[in-house]
Structure 1
Amino acid sequence: MEKSGVRDRKSKTDTGDQKRTPNTTLRNQKRGADTESKLGSKAPLPHKDSGFISYVHPSHSDTIFTHLHRFWEEQLLVDCTFPLQGNSFRAHRLVLAAASQTPAAVLGPGVEEIAQCLTPVGLRAVLEFAYCGDVTVDLSEDWVTEEVLDACQCLHMERLRERCMSKVATSPATQRDKSLAVIKDMWERGVGCDITIKAETGERHSAHRVVLAAGGDYFRALLCGGLRESSEDVVCLRGVPSWVIESILSFVYSGQLRLGWSRIWELTDALVQFQLEEALSLCTDFLRDRMDEGCCLDVLVLAETYGLLQLGQAAEEYILAHFQCISAGEKFKDVPCALLERLLEKDSLCVESEIAVFRAVVSWVEDNRKERLPCLPELLLRVRTPLLSYSELQEALSCSLLYRSPGTKGTLEALQSLMEGNYRGPECQPRTPNQVLVLVGGDTVDEDFKKRVPSQTLWFAQRFHRGFGLIRSIEWKAFTKIPELPRFRHCVCLLNNKLYVLGGRSFYGALDILKSAV
């Protein structure tokens, strides 16, 4: 899959860690079509290394044991068998060891013989506890409790024994957390590992086959799907750096990732490739939490490349909210035309004045005039020229770039007509993030100051001009008209960005009180 990003003209540092961008530039998007998960937010945990932050997925052990339980039910990757009283019970030795006080004893070759003294009821309770963190057998019967306690003693299941004897049981989720911590400890010590993941550069990383398969869809298909790798002791992941493999394995065993700008882009690529959605959610959390003007464009490209909808929405909202600052930066010059058009169309694009949008378009075209000049007419159609003030219209008409493309003739005519006050083109609304001051109706005096006249017109404050001290002068512009009748002494309210005008009077007589709303 092609990866796109914004070229890093200026490097930035963040807590001592350089913010590196994706491997290729945003310019590459122009050669392909634009691309447009329910990921929960986890709170970052501080780490002693100032360059990295540890992110933890809170329900990771639940996910791992859900898959392990499914493997048990489907008899996938099971590696030990207990024949008892004509019945055969199969299980994963590692899962049983994780629930035991002495994992090494359960991992040993004689566990099947040790279990010969168990009863089916006792063994079933042990297996349920190992995979689920709880037991469903009825412990109110003394003989059942005795058989389960015998199984606990035989297999050193101290936590299950406490569960049977205690009236206040530890939650199954807590038990699963403890079991996964035991598995992680065994992995770190290399106990019971039965598969080796090899990087292309030769580094080797040991793991447990069943835990790796429970960690994600890619490894599940690789190890349980009948492929050649399912029977091999060494699996090579080509094109994946050793540190990425180490990070993936660390997450599978702990639900934790250490993230920093030096590794976030490459790690996110790998997590998408290996379909590790929980780990990917931590990367998206990192990118969302640390969004700024320097990385938001890269984040948007990454999200759209891999279909990360929520992250893409967050990045786009950030860009729209900080457009004026971002458009003045170096990375903005590498935004593809299609993306720039999409941003300029948004009502939620936040700028102090529409002239900032015009300047951004001109700056973007000037950066590569030869290639981008043909894009200028379409981009100018997305600039809301009727919102420009008189002085801003003068600035736009003085821009030499507009006279270099035959496609900008319509824009030039519109600008000129706006200057002369005879514009007849389509109107446009202010961009919605701005706080817009609107005057609605009311009454006013006529030109001769002889009588008061109800008004239908809505005016909005197009621009606030700075004066001395706290003084501001307001440049007003007609917005629209209230449908008949004109009204004054009315009420107004705003709901879901719609303005409602309620009641009021249409004139001064006792019968001119209105009972309508618009």
Structure 2
Amino acid sequence: MTAADMLQLSHVVALCCDFLKEQIEPGNCIGFFQFSEQLCCQPLLEVTESYIHAHFPEVQRGEEFLALSKEQLIRLLRSEELCIEDEHQVFSAAMSWLQKDTTTRKRHVVEVLEPVRFPLLPPQRLHKDIEEVTDFSLRVALQTLLREYCEPSLSPKDKKLCSFLQPSRVRPRRKARKFLYAIGGYTRLQGGRWSDSRALSCVERFDTFSQYWSTVSSLHQARSGMSAAVLDGKIYVVGGRYPPHT
């Protein structure tokens, strides 16, 4: 493929590219990604990058992932297309890369962790991960960085939250696993009167990965017209009425 590219045999390059697309798997996709970038083969680059996004949890556990350049790593970690269970997988991937060669890479800690959406990470888990870092200087740098991320400026002249609190930082990635909940509500017979409405206690959940609805724990009391909010991974349902017309 390299020789065909040098000789400008575009048809041969295309054939080789099609062959490589069929061979992509978690253990070699990073190598193909780097090769296509070196060769400026855009079709193969797009396919390999999409594959990495779709299989990120598996790919980031491989040895090839640790051989990414800093620029390539940051490019992947910034993507909205990462199919992840939660943001902690992105943080773990960044930390694995940093700790592969701590002496050389720890100076890049700010750049490498910049794409991580820290507001989506449980604080206790984050602190525990940082405490387990064996390199003292890297651990101190992470603790300092975390304080800067989590504490707003106290200066009256510059009263603003740090960049990680911007909307894009607190919103899950587009392809991250999400759940949509349908909570309570009311139902009535077709053509029935409003007074015949019946409040519901059921709670249903839609999984964006499986594209499937399932029933989860019901409300303690049937009701409709309530408000709901999420805090620390728990859903709180407040108010409402039963029956809905009262």
TM-score range, shorter chain: 0.5 to 0.7
Partner of 2:37: 304
Q: Deviations over 1:106-137 (max 9, x none)?
A: xxxxxxxxxxxxxxxxxxxxxxxxxxxxxxxx
Q: What is the TM-score of this pair, normalised by structure 1?
A: 0.33
The answer to whether the 8 Å contact 2:85/2:177 transfers is no
Corresponding letter in the other structure for 2:24: M
**Ranges in structure 1 where 5+ consecutive residues have no aligned partner:** 1-267, 418-422, 444-448, 463-474, 479-487, 489-506, 510-518
Q: What SS class does the counterpart of residue 8 from structure 2 fall into? A: coil
Corresponding letter in the other structure for 2:74: E
CA–CA distance in 2 between the matches of 1:385 and 1:314? Answer: 29
Number of matched pairs: 193
The answer to whether the 8 Å contact 1:439/1:458 transfers is no
The answer to whether the 8 Å contact 1:354/1:387 transfers is yes
Question: Is 1:476 aligned to residue 234 of structure 2?
Answer: yes
Corresponding letter in the other structure for 1:295: N
Instruction: Show the 5 A alignment for 1:90-239.
Output: none
The answer to whether the 8 Å contact 2:86/2:177 transfers is no
Corresponding letter in the other structure for 1:436: K
Q: CA RMSD in A?
A: 3.7
Partner of 2:146: 411
Q: Using the TM superposition, give the Cα deviation of residue 364 of structure 1 relative to its aligned residue in structure 2, in angstroms.
A: 1.1
Instruction: Show the 5 A alignment for 1:318-329.
Output: 318-329=51-62
Q: 1:335 to 1:314 in 2, by over 3 A?
A: same
CA–CA distance in 2 between the matches of 1:477 and 1:388? Answer: 17
Q: 2:179 aligns with which of 429, 434, 437?
A: 437
Q: Using the TM superposition, give the Cα deviation of residue 342 of structure 1 relative to its aligned residue in structure 2, in angstroms.
A: 0.6
CA–CA distance in 1 between the matches of 2:178 and 2:39? Answer: 37
Q: 1:393 to 1:273 in 2, by over 3 A?
A: same
Partner of 1:357: 90
The answer to whether the 8 Å contact 1:440/1:459 transfers is no
Corresponding letter in the other structure for 1:290: Q
Partner of 1:165: none
Q: 1:412 to 1:400 in 2, by over 3 A?
A: farther
Partner of 1:379: 112
Question: Is 1:272 aligned to residue 14 of structure 2?
Answer: no
Partner of 2:73: 340
Q: 1:287 to 1:452 in 2, by over 3 A?
A: closer
Q: Using the TM superposition, give the Cα deviation of residue 352 of structure 1 relative to its aligned residue in structure 2, in angstroms.
A: 2.4
Q: What SS class does the counterpart of residue 372 from structure 1 fall into? A: helix
Question: Is 1:294 aligned to residue 21 of structure 2?
Answer: no
The answer to whether the 8 Å contact 1:324/1:351 transfers is yes
Q: Deviations over 1:293-323 (max 9, x none)?
A: 2221121112112221121010011111222
Q: What SS class does the counterpart of residue 170 from structure 2 fall into? A: coil
CA–CA distance in 2 between the matches of 1:316 and 1:361? Answer: 17
Q: What is the TM-score of this pair, normalised by structure 2?
A: 0.65
Q: What SS class does the counterpart of residue 234 from structure 2 fall into? A: strand
CA–CA distance in 2 between the matches of 1:371 and 1:288? Answer: 33
